[in-house]
Amino acid sequence: MKILVTGGAGFIGSNVVRHLVRRHGHVVLNVDALTYAGHLASLADMADDPRHRFVRADIRDAAAMHRLFDEFAPDQVVHLAAESHVDRSIAAPAIFIETNVTGTLNLLQAARARYEKLSGEARDRFRFLHVSTDEVYGTLGDEGLFTESSPYAPRSPYSASKAAADHLVRAWHVTYGLPVIVTNCSNNHGPCQFPEKLIPRAILAALADEPIPVYGDGSQIRDWLHVVDHAEALHAVLTRGRVGETYNIGGDNEWRNLDLVRLLCDILDQLRPRSDGRPHADRITFVTDRPGHDYRYGIDADKIHHELGWTPRRDHVEAFRETVRWYLDHPDWIAAIGARSSQLLANS
Ligand SMILES: NC(=O)c1ccc[n+]([C@@H]2O[C@H](COP(=O)([O-])OP(=O)(O)OC[C@H]3O[C@@H](n4cnc5c(N)ncnc54)[C@H](O)[C@@H]3O)[C@@H](O)[C@H]2O)c1
C-alpha cells in the first residue's frame, strides 16, 4: 500500500512512518515542512530504506499538496502534520489556525481530487485518517471519561484549532463522500519527542542538572500511551476501522503530572544516578501555571478495544522506563535537535 503521511518528521509521525514501513511493509511518502518540531534526525535509520521517501513541503501550500497527491498517487493518507504545543498556541495562535485548519482543508481538497479519480478496489480502500487529540473534548473533573460522543468543548487555541480540523474532516465525509476516519488520542510518550513537552523536558532537565519544571501544583491529570502503541492503533484503524467513524485511543493510564515527574526521577535514579548521590526529584520546581490549564483528560477506549481488537501492548511503568532509556541512549539525537530547541524554548 502507498501511504502519504503528513508530519512524518515530528514525534508521532516519525514513529508512525517507521511502524508502517518496517512493521507492515508499506511504502510511505513523508510530507513535512520541517518546522522547529520536525527533524530528519528522527528518521536517520530510515534514510536508506527505499520504501520511505521524504519531501519537504508545507500543508498550507494547496498547490504543492495537489502536486504531491498527483505524483505519488497514494492509496491512503495519514494526516499528522500540525502545530502541536498548547503553550505556543497561547503565545502565537495564528499559525495554529493556518496549519491545523487551513492546512487540513488543503489536504482534504487534494485527497478529494485524488479519490474522485479512483474506481473499483482502489476507491474502496482509499482512506483519509485524521489524527487528533482528546483535548478537543475540553476538561474533566475527577470522575468520568471522554467517549466518542462526548461534546466538543476545546479550551485552548491549540485544541480549538484541532476541533475545527476534526469538524472539517467529518464534513468532507458527509458532503463529498470522502472516506475519512478520525482518531482522538491521549498524551503520547516515547522516542523523538521535542523537549518542550513534559516528559522529554523533565528528562533533559534532570540530565543537565537543571530545575525540573512542573506547572502550578502538578495536580493536573493526563492519560499516557506509548507512541508505538498509538502507531499500532492507527494501523488497526486504517485497516479495520469503519469509514466515517471516530475512535478514541488511550492507555487507561492516568497520572497526576507531579506523580509522573516523580516516577521519571525514580527511574533516572536507577538508570543514571546523580553524581552527588541525591535524588533527581530534589530538582523538581513548581512554575507559574499555564492559563486555562485543563485539569483532567481521561479516555474511554472501549470502542477501539471491542471493534478493532486493539489494546496497548506495553506495561505502563515499563513503557515509561523504555522512554527514559531511549533519551539516555540517544545523546546524538538530543545534540542534533539541541541547539535549535534551546533557542526556541528561550523565546517561547
Ligand atoms: N503528542 C501527543 O501527545 C498527541 C496526542 C494526540 C494527538 N496528537 C496529534 O498528533 C499529531 C502529531 O503530534 P506530534 O506530537 O508528533 O507533533 P510534533 O509537533 O512533534 O510534530 C508535528 C510535525 O508536523 C510538521 N509540520 C508542522 N507544520 C507543518 C506544515 N505547515 N506543513 C507540513 N508539516 C508541518 C512539523 O515539522 C513536525 O514534523 C498532531 O496532529 C497532534 O495534534 C498528538
2-189+226-252+293-313 homologous superfamily: NAD(P)-binding Rossmann-like Domain (3.40.50.720)
The residue nearest atom 28 of ligand 1, judged by CA position, is 82
Backbone angles phi, psi at 212, to 5 degrees: -100, 110
Which amino acid is located at 296 in the chain? Answer: R
- Can you tell me which atom of ligand 1 is nearest the CA of 197? 1
- Can you tell me which atom of ligand 1 is nearest the CA of 81? 24
User: Domain residues of the chain, as ranges?
Assistant: 2-189+226-252+293-313
pLDDT at residue 325 in the model: 98
Q: Quick count: other Cβ atoms within 10 Å of Cβ 176? A: 14
How do strand 221-226 and strand 254-256 relate by DSSP bridges?
A: antiparallel
Annotated catalytic residue, options 137, 158, 247, 327: 158
- Can you tell me which atom of ligand 1 is nearest the CA of 8? 39
Annotated catalytic residue, options 32, 135, 166, 196: 135
d(Cα 153, Cα 136) in Å, to the nearest integer?
Answer: 6
DSSP 117: T
Give, for 52, the enclosing helix (H) or strand (E): strand 52-56
Q: Respond yes or no: is residue 134 known to be catalytic.
A: yes
- Residues 124, 282: contact at Cβ < 8 Å? no
Report the separation in Å between the CA atom of 82 and the middle of ligand 1, taken as the mean of its atom positions.
4
Cβ within 8 Å of residue 89, ≥6 positions away: 83, 96, 156, 157, 158, 161
C-alpha cell at 213: 519544571
Q: Quick count: other Cβ atoms within 10 Å of Cβ 235? A: 22
- Can you tell me which atom of ligand 1 is nearest the CA of 194? 20
d(Cα 54, Cα 207) in Å, to the nearest integer?
Answer: 32
- Residues 68, 29: contact at Cβ < 8 Å? yes
Cβ within 8 Å of residue 28, ≥6 positions away: 2, 3, 4, 5, 8, 17, 20, 21, 51, 52, 53
Q: What is the pTM of this model?
A: 0.97
Alpha helical stretches, state H, the chain: 11-18, 62-72, 86-91, 94-96, 103-115, 120-125, 157-176, 198-207, 227-240, 257-271, 302-308, 316-329, 331-347
- Residues 51, 25: contact at Cβ < 8 Å? yes
- Half-sphere exposure at residue 78, Cβ-oriented, CA atoms within 13 angstroms: 30
pLDDT at residue 338 in the model: 78
Cβ within 8 Å of residue 149, ≥6 positions away: none
Task: Identify which of 38, 43, 241, 36 has the alpha carbon closest to the alpha carbon of residue 28.
Answer: 43
Q: Using alpha carbons only, what angle is made at residue 280 by residues 276 and 283, rounded to the nearest 5 degrees?
A: 100
Report the separation in Å between the CA atom of 53 and the middle of ligand 1, taken as the mean of its atom positions.
18
Report the separation in Å between the CA atom of 91 and the middle of ligand 1, taken as the mean of its atom positions.
18
The residue nearest atom 18 of ligand 1, judged by CA position, is 10
Q: Quick count: other Cβ atoms within 10 Å of Cβ 287? A: 11
Find out whether the beta carbon of 222 lies less than 6 Å from any atom of ligand 1: no
Find out whether the beta carbon of 206 lies less than 6 Å from any atom of ligand 1: no
Q: Respond yes or no: is residue 158 known to be catalytic.
A: yes
How do the pLDDT tens digits run along the chain, 348 residues long?
999 999 999 999 999 999 999 999 999 999 999 999 999 999 999 999 999 999 999 999 999 999 999 999 999 999 999 999 999 999 999 999 999 999 999 999 999 999 999 999 999 999 999 999 999 999 999 999 999 999 999 999 999 999 999 999 999 999 999 999 999 999 999 999 999 999 999 999 999 999 999 999 999 999 999 999 999 999 999 999 999 999 999 999 999 999 999 999 999 999 999 999 999 999 999 999 999 999 999 999 999 999 999 999 999 999 999 999 999 999 999 999 975 555 444 433
The residue nearest atom 12 of ligand 1, judged by CA position, is 80
